[in-house]
Amino acid sequence: MPDLYQFETMLGPAEDFPPGSVEWAKRISNRLQTGTRFISKHTAQHVGVTMKQIWEARPRPWDVWPEGRPYGTPDDYCRAVTGFKWQALCETVAGFIPQWELDVELARAQAEHRSQGTRTDLKHPADGRKLTSGSNQIAYLLRRLARDRPDILAAYERGEFKSARAAAKAAGIIKEKTPLEQIRALLPKLSDADLAELRSELHKLAKAAAA
């Protein structure tokens, strides 16, 4: 973990200042740092709420703080405050919180802040604390929906799809292979004996069909 920003002691609550102000940004960032020292299923909800407060503020902390030399991007800000990239922290929190609403909110946040001309926000898993492959896959699909098909993401929010995977299929992000495509993909992996057996099976099928 890199050296983190050192906050003053006894800063007091962020709520004493208008959201988006420099003083608010400093205090909410201190809260984020404290909450991310150890993330568990018991603390992730608190971290998620703090992240949403940060995301919904205008301007956001990285645009105004530190005063005179703001971080400028979510990644630079988040690394300095927590040691994580913004995306990695999003996925870590989403991995602990079962409510998909937060996943959707963070997916939109990531899609809005992706670097122009790159697809780094669509890589998975992100660096950071390890999540299950299922959590990474869902986060990845939601980011793709937020970027490419916000209409289907909105339908997913309304409960019109049973899962993120089903929504991704409807959006054309996931394309199911036909049985023939699956067989073709497996052919290079077959041994000579397997291929001989396959030819025999195909010959039997062709003979039965012609009968």
Q: 117 and 163: one domain?
A: yes
Q: Does residue 88 belong to any structural domain of this protein? A: no
Q: How many domains does the chain have?
A: 3
Q: 128 and 71: one domain?
A: no
Alpha-carbon dihedral angle through residues 181, 187, 188, 190, given to the nearest 10 degrees = 150
- Asked if 56 and 2 touch (Cβ cutoff 8 Å), the reply is no
Q: 148 and 74: one domain?
A: no
- pLDDT tens digits, one per residue of 43-53: 888 898 899 89
Please report the pLDDT score of residue 48 as a whole number. 87
Q: Does residue 92 belong to any structural domain of this protein? A: no
Q: 122 and 194: one domain?
A: no
Least confident range of 20-34, 91-105, 152-166: 91-105
Q: Does residue 129 belong to any structural domain of this protein? A: yes
Answer with the one of 48, 83, 118 that is the final residue of a domain: 83
Q: Pick the residue with more confidence: 42 or 116? A: 42
**pTM > 0.85: yes or no:** no
Q: Mean pLDDT throughout 69-92?
A: 88
Q: Does residue 14 belong to any structural domain of this protein? A: yes
Domain range for 41 = 1-83
Q: Does residue 91 belong to any structural domain of this protein? A: no
- pLDDT tens digits, one per residue of 171-201: 999 888 888 888 888 899 999 999 999 899 9
Name the residue type at position 37: R
Q: Does residue 155 belong to any structural domain of this protein? A: yes
Q: 167 and 111: one domain?
A: yes
Q: Does residue 37 belong to any structural domain of this protein? A: yes
Q: Which residues contact 159 (CB under 8 A, 6 or more apart)?
A: none
Q: How confident is the model at residue 123 (pLDDT cuts 50, 70, 90)?
A: very low
Q: 69 and 14: one domain?
A: yes
Q: Mean pLDDT throughout 51-61?
A: 90
Q: 72 and 119: one domain?
A: no
SS3 17: coil
Q: Does residue 89 belong to any structural domain of this protein? A: no
